[in-house]
Amino acid sequence: MKMFAKFVPFMLVTAMSVFTACGGDSGSNADSEEPVSSSAVKKSSSSKAKSSSSTKNSSSSTKSSSSSKTPSSASSAKAIYDEKNNTMKDPRDNKTYKTVKIGDQVWMAENLNYNSCFSYCYGEEPSYMQNSNPGLCNKYGRLYKWEAATEACPGGWHLPSKDEFETLIQTVGGSDNAGIKLKSVDGWKFEKKETVGTDEYGFSALPGGYRMEYDFSGYVSQNVKSYDFIGDKTAAYFWSSTEDIESSTRLDGNRILVDHAISMSLDNRYASADIGGEPMDNALSVRCVLDSRTSSNEKSSSSKAKSSSSAKSSSSAKSSSSAKSESSVAVPKGCKTSTEDNCEYGELVDDRDGQTYKTVKIGDQWWMAQNLNYRREAKYKNDYCYCYNNSKDNCDKFGRLYVWDAAADACPKGWHLPSTAEWKTLIDSVGGEKVAGITLKTSDWISSGEATDAFGFSVLPAGFRDWVSNYYWEVGYQAFFWTSDEYENSSGCVYFQGQYDNADIRSRDADYGYSVRCVMDVEPKPSVTEPTAKACKTETKDECEYGTLTDSRDKQTYKTVKIDKQWWMAENLNFDAEGSLCFNNDPSKCAKHGRFYFWSAAMDSVGEWSSNGKDCGMGNICTPTYPVRGVCPEGWHLPTSEEYEILFAAVGGELMGGKVLKSTSGWYDNDYDAKPGTDDYAFSVLPTESRYDTEDDLWTYIWTSTGLYESAATTIIFVYDRDDVLMTDMVKDFAYPVRCVKN
- Which of 158, 67, 63 is closest to 497 using CA atoms? 158
Does 372 reside within a domain?
yes
480 and 569 fall within a common domain: no
* Sheet containing 566-569, strands listed edge to edge, beginning at the edge strand earlier in sequence: 545-550, 557-563, 566-569, 741-742, 636-637
User: Is 477 inside any structural domain?
Assistant: yes
Give domain status of residue 510, yes or no.
yes
Average pLDDT over residues 258-270: 90
| Better-predicted residue by pLDDT, 389 or 31 | 389
Q: Is the pLDDT of residue 261 over 50?
A: yes
pLDDT in tens, 353-388: 999 999 999 998 999 999 999 986 655 444 578 999
Which tens digits make up the pLDDT trace of 704-742?
Answer: 999 877 788 899 999 988 999 988 888 888 889 999 999
Yes or no: say if 255 and 239 are a contact pair by the CB < 8 Å rule.
no
Q: Using 50, 70 and 90 to split pLDDT, how confident is the model at 215?
A: low
Most confident range, picked from 5-19, 551-565, 671-685: 551-565
Binned at pLDDT 50, 70 and 90, residue 523 comes out as: low
In a domain, 171, yes or no: yes
Measuring CA to CA, how many Å separate 702 from each of 262, 580, 644, 659? 28, 14, 10, 16
Report whether the peptide linkage leading into residue 624 is cis, meaning its omega lies within 30 degrees of zero: no
Q: Are residues 101 and 155 in the same domain?
A: yes
| Residues 499 and 558 grouped into a single domain | no
What SS3 class is residue 521? coil
Strand 153-155 and strand 73-78: the pairing is parallel
Same domain, 506 and 568: no
In a domain, 48, yes or no: no
Q: What is the DSSP string of 240-305?
A: EEEE-TTTSEEETTTEEE--EEEEEEEETT-S-EEEEEEETTSEEB---EEPPTT-TT-----PPP
**How many Cβ atoms are within 10 Å of 340's Cβ, its own excluded?**
8
Q: What is the pLDDT of residues 10-63, one digit of tens each?
A: 222 233 333 333 444 333 333 333 333 222 222 233 333 333 333 333 333 333
Same-domain status, 204 and 296: yes
> pLDDT class for 658, splitting at 50, 70, 90?
very high
Query: Same structural domain for residues 567 and 666?
Result: yes
220 and 132 housed in the same domain: yes
Domain that holds residue 199: 73-303
Domain final residue, candidates 303, 338, 372? 303
> Which is more confidently placed, 224 or 717?
717
Q: Based on the domain organization, do 77 and 200 belong to the same domain?
A: yes
Q: Does residue 482 belong to any structural domain of this protein?
A: yes
The answer to whether residue 198 scores a pLDDT higher than 50 is yes
Q: Is the pLDDT of residue 449 over 80?
A: no
Are residues 507 and 565 both part of a single domain? no
Domain stops at, among 281, 303, 325: 303
Helix, strand, or coil here: 547?
Answer: strand
pTM of the model: 0.39
pLDDT at 87: 95
Residues 234 and 92 in one domain: yes
Domain membership flag for residue 225: yes
Q: What's the pLDDT band for 398 if we cut at 50, 70, 90?
A: very high
Q: What is the CA radius of gyration of the chain?
A: 27
292-303 b/e (C-beta count within 10 Å ≥ 16 → b): beebbbbbbbbb
Residue 188 has pLDDT above 70, yes or no: yes
* pLDDT for res 170: 92
Average pLDDT of the residues of the chain: 79
285 and 142 within one domain: yes
Residue 131 clears pLDDT 70, i.e. is over it: no
Which residue has better confidence, 522 or 304? 522
What is d(CA 294, CA 355) in angstroms, rounded to the nearest whole number?
Answer: 46
Pairing of strands 596-598, 580-581: antiparallel
Total number of domains constituting the chain: 3
pLDDT value for 75: 44
Residue 485's pLDDT is what? 86
Residue at a domain's end among 504, 520, 536: 520
Which amino acid is residue 420, in one-letter code? T
Residue 325 lies in a domain: no
Question: Does residue 458 sit in the same domain as residue 399?
Answer: yes
